[in-house]
Structure 1
Amino acid sequence: MPFKSINPADDATLTVIQAFDADQLEAALAETAAVTLVWSATPIQERCRLMHAAATVLRSRSEELATLISQEMGKLIGEARAEVEKCALVCEYYEEFGPGFLRDESIDSDATNSFVAYQPIGTVLAVMPWNFPFWQVFRFAAPALIAGNTGLLKHASNVPQCALAIESVFHDAGFPAGVFRSLMIPASEVEGVIRDPRVAAVTLTGSEPAGRKVAAVAGEELKKSVLELGGSDAFVVLEDADLDLAVAGAVASRFLNAGQSCIAAKRFIVVDVVADQFVTQFKEAVEALEAGDPLDEKTTLGPMARADLRSELHKQVSDSLASGAEAITGCRPLVRPGSFYAASILDRVEPGMRAYSEEFFGPVAIVIRARDEADAMRIANDSRFGLGGSIWTEDSERGEALARQVESGCTFVNGMVKSDPRLPFGGVKASGYGRELSHQGIREFVNAKTIWIR
């Protein structure tokens, strides 16, 4: 079945790309397998040189690649440029720090000399989503390739041009053929690739159901997996918060990328004493967002990536309203070409509503009112997800103490949750396991080999 690239801003078909047939898939797997031992034996200084070249290629094509991202999945052009730049930065980060992260680690023992050597494990398959079509790939690929692994990409079916463009970046940077390949295959063929003996491990960023399937197959094959799944991040506003700062953070965190981010703030848990004022200011700021062409610099809210995703989101909103939630603003699809949904706020969300327990992947903010600090923390942790979260308070010591209580892979105090190459990233509970980025990320797909010498 071919892959259709459709512009979600106007529903126009951009291109159609044919899927690999069985022979093409085998050829790609064989090419990567053939170069894997060669790449692992390539001096790390050379791997770093090529990663620097990849950063240069990204920057030289920034406008072209950003436009492709905007056209293929609807991201605002300014956000798309920032995504391309972030990819260049993660390449440079691992170019600079990767050799140190992988340096032999001496450990005292009964040996004359004993140490841990961090060695590549082989080919890593990445199953990646559409919402950050370049960044999600590069945050896996930069550390994996610097470590001496090769990479295979199964990208989301609605961003096939991005998948091929990423492969071209590595090709044009001078990486040997096969070190990084994009597999143009449907989701139904992922299991076969995971089970292929030439694949050593798998990393997935995506939905909870997809993560469970991938983890099950990897487990059967005794292959390492890293999962970054959904999130329903808590955004806790306490009575001493700077509301102007909190509202600005709320808008940026919830409506970036039209709300289509795993680490977007989704549940706004506000203590009663400031809830009315917060909602009033939040509503005013949200209603100032302007939906439109994502290539127009003045647009502040782009479309959702696909029409089916918009329909699913609206069903969640409608069901929550029917259960007693209050529509403060929006809560409806926009009547215009493309997959636009109004910037929305649902207030007075309570247990039993879909908005309370499910991830809403789109431009809808969920307000849950808490009696006090203790109640707010209870609600924050009353979720099967645990990706990120934030605490808003003018008392930084109080914020740190509460941040330690949040069940998540990361918690920010007075700032929106974001990924940073210098900091480990990942979740707990149904948000997955394993870490990307920082030194933890590069060590996920290596063999920590103990060497003992007398």
Structure 2
Amino acid sequence: MSVLTVIDPRTGEVAHEVPAAGPEEIGQVIGRAQDAFGTWSRRTIAERAAVLHAVAGRLREDRERLAPIMTVEMGKPITEARAEVEKAAWAAEHYAEHAATYLATEEVASDATRSYVQYLPLGPVLGILPWNAPMWLAFRFLAPTLMAGNTGVLKHDPRVPRCAQAVADLFDESVGAPAGLVQALLAQTPDVEGAIRDPRIQAVSFTGSDKAGAAVASVAASEIKPHVLELGGSDPAIVLADADLEAAAATIATMRIINAGQSCIAAKRIIVEESVHDEFVELLHERLAALVVGDPREESTQIGPIAREDLRANLHRQVTETIEAGAECRLGGELPEGPGFFYPVTLLTEVRPGMTACVEETFGPVAAVLRVDSAEAAVAVANDTPYGLGASVWTSTERGEAIARQVVAGQVAVNGIVKTDPRLPSGGVKRSGYGRELGREGILEFVNAQQVWVGPKA
């Protein structure tokens, strides 16, 4: 029997093993989701909302049980894990409260006596999700999908099986949820293609790398199934001469190290105007140097381990190649001794376009600072990437909003943190993907926008 092996990134040792679903069990999981769809799709929005509210309540009640599962399986510091559970509950509540407005039938004038667009569910939707935010990303996918009347099949990364099962269990144990409404598909990665091709799966949501996203998209497209891709990022943070440098340094430091820097929307390339470069670097250095790397189970820990040994090795390669190309390492940059997959907070300065830290996505607590001589040059460098997920701009408000229009990214924060918010659409352009999650745009990705024309002709 095939198993999913979970390595505790704190120790580097096997934490647990979970049996992996084979083709027969995968078919059974999808079948249960199909059966549940018949019941769930006929529920009113208010009835669906009651289930989502109940699940949100369970999330909060079970926070101290759910958070440590993430800490063991992917190394998230316990304080961040608790916050992730809370954010997942927020997503469930947001869509429970706003789905009726988002999905409201729209009257459209035409030559009919009456014509309108109504938003109908599609069926079972497959969510292919990564390891880095297993609770939040599950609910970012599930909350709009379920409130639209679809059912959800969760295919998490094989390294977080208990996280995936815990999410599915919340629905199984909630009053009002039909059996099979949310299923955890604990399968090996090569078996995902078969799930996508299963005729009962009507759409696919994928979050992960651009390489894996391209593979998922090709399969989904060959089956003519709608899909949304939220892929990698090399997000720029532009700091101009008129910025509040203290606020910029504090916020950018936070953006860079959340989840040990293992986030698609983390600030990865920090582009600073020449006249304030040195002052900003000192402020950033001070904040990064004060961060506590350690046991993710401890309340005082701000940065836990990298999730996997191979990911840490790749991160160190990126740092080493960037230094060898001429960057200056102001902090960190050396592999620590001892158990686990820890990596020090690292600050690289004098980084230039074309260096590895600029060309590749760095998934870890590594800040790369580039200097430029003008705002125009900053925008050019910011857009000099195959990615286009998120960005931040630090300057006066009016100027920042003008610059946001020039930055090629799915979301831009002016003088603030780049984050995902259930109220606002999130997604990328270029190799960062297409389609949107969250907000009204997110719930409309997996619906049938059905046009209805009612005669006689007017």
Residue 249 of structure 2 corresponds to 247
SS at match of 2:272: strand
Residue 63 of structure 2 corresponds to 62
C-alpha distance after superposition, 1:173-202 (max 9, x if no partner)? 232111110111111011111111101010
Amino acid in structure 2 at the alignment position of 1:317: V
Residue 208 of structure 1 corresponds to 210
Q: Which stretch has the larger CA shift, 317-326 or 231-240?
A: 317-326
Residue 327 of structure 2 corresponds to 325
TM-score, with structure 2 as normaliser: 0.97
Aligned mates of 1:432, 1:68 — CA distance in 2: 29
Alignment check: 8 A CA contact 1:231 1:431 kept: yes
Residue 322 (structure 1) shift = 1.4
Alignment check: 8 A CA contact 2:26 2:195 kept: no
C-alpha distance after superposition, 1:86-141 (max 9, x if no partner)? 11111110110001111111111111110001000111101000110110110110
Alignment check: 8 A CA contact 2:165 2:184 kept: yes
Structure 2 gap ranges (5+): none
Q: How does 1:259-298 map to 2 (within 5 A)?
A: 259-298=261-300
SS at match of 2:101: helix
Q: How does 1:65-144 map to 2 (within 5 A)?
A: 65-144=66-145
Aligned mates of 1:145, 1:397 — CA distance in 2: 39
Give the alignment's Cα RMSD to 1 decimal.
0.9
Structure 1 gap ranges (5+): none
Amino acid in structure 1 at the alignment position of 2:267: A
Moved runs in structure 1, 4+ residues, more than 4 A? none
Aligned mates of 1:154, 1:450 — CA distance in 2: 32
Aligned mates of 1:162, 1:145 — CA distance in 2: 19
Amino acid in structure 1 at the alignment position of 2:262: Q
C-alpha distance after superposition, 1:279-302 (max 9, x if no partner)? 112112111111111111111211
Q: How does 1:28-427 map to 2 (within 5 A)?
A: 28-174=29-175, 175-393=177-395, 395-427=396-428
Residue 37 (structure 1) shift = 2.0
Alignment check: 8 A CA contact 1:387 1:408 kept: yes
Alignment check: 8 A CA contact 2:388 2:408 kept: yes
Aligned mates of 2:421, 2:84 — CA distance in 1: 12
SS at match of 1:10: coil
Alignment check: 8 A CA contact 1:263 1:418 kept: yes
Aligned mates of 1:323, 1:21 — CA distance in 2: 46
Instruction: Give percent identity, aligned residues only.
Output: 49
Aligned mates of 1:166, 1:12 — CA distance in 2: 25
Alignment check: 8 A CA contact 1:5 1:16 kept: yes
Q: Which stretch has the larger CA shift, 68-77 or 207-216?
A: 68-77
Amino acid in structure 2 at the alignment position of 1:237: V
Aligned mates of 1:68, 1:285 — CA distance in 2: 29
Alignment check: 8 A CA contact 2:239 2:270 kept: yes
Aligned mates of 2:199, 2:299 — CA distance in 1: 48
C-alpha distance after superposition, 1:208-242 (max 9, x if no partner)? 00100000111111100100000011100000111
Residue 25 of structure 1 corresponds to 26
TM-score, with structure 1 as normaliser: 0.98
Aligned mates of 1:234, 1:188 — CA distance in 2: 33
Number of residue pairs matched by the alignment: 453
Alignment check: 8 A CA contact 1:390 1:412 kept: yes
Residue 427 (structure 1) shift = 0.5
Residue 12 (structure 1) shift = 3.2
Residue 23 (structure 1) shift = 2.4
